[in-house]
Amino acid sequence: MAGNRIVRSADECIRTITDRTVSGALLPATGVFVGATSLTQAAAPTGGRLALLANRDYFGNWLDSTDPLLTPYASGDSGVAIMLEPDLEVSWAMAAGTYTNGQELTVGASGRLTAAATTNVVVAYYDQAGATLTAGQIADVCIANYYTKA
């Protein structure tokens, strides 16, 4: 499978779940929990089966305001959830903040990644040059083998 706008690893064969509906107006590139019948917004790394909501490249035009990464799913739409595994390179929406390459990240509000503090579950590492990001800005990250930060 070739890399796309969410999955950055071009040689990965990723597992997706497509038979669930989204539980609200959810943006692609945010964390979701996979339930029996729906995908709900994650606000923490625990509390459900964590996945990443994929973009719909077939939905809109990359060159204008209908960019599929900026177009939320409507409540009740069938969602595409990417199942996470260690070392998978993905693009994920970030919380506002300053990040450095290799920084440990956890899931925060609106399913966005944020800097992990002591006792947080680390789910990913920031994987690009250091930068100050605005809320919702998309960044490349590498999925971690989850652990609690000491």
Model pLDDT, residue 3: 45
- Contact at 8 Å (CB) between 70 and 104? no
Distance CA 42, CA 115 (A): 16
Predicted TM-score (pTM) of the model is 0.91
pLDDT digits (tens, 9 = 90+) for 52-98: 999 876 655 555 556 777 789 999 999 999 999 999 999 999 999 99
pLDDT digits (tens, 9 = 90+) for 16-53: 999 999 999 999 999 999 999 999 999 999 999 999 99
**Which among 48, 29, 57, 5 is positioned nearest to 113, based on CA atoms?**
29
- Contact at 8 Å (CB) between 141 and 124? yes
For the cut 90, the answer to whether the pLDDT of residue 126 exceeds it is yes
- Contact at 8 Å (CB) between 37 and 84? no
For the cut 50, the answer to whether the pLDDT of residue 1 exceeds it is no
Model pLDDT, residue 109: 97
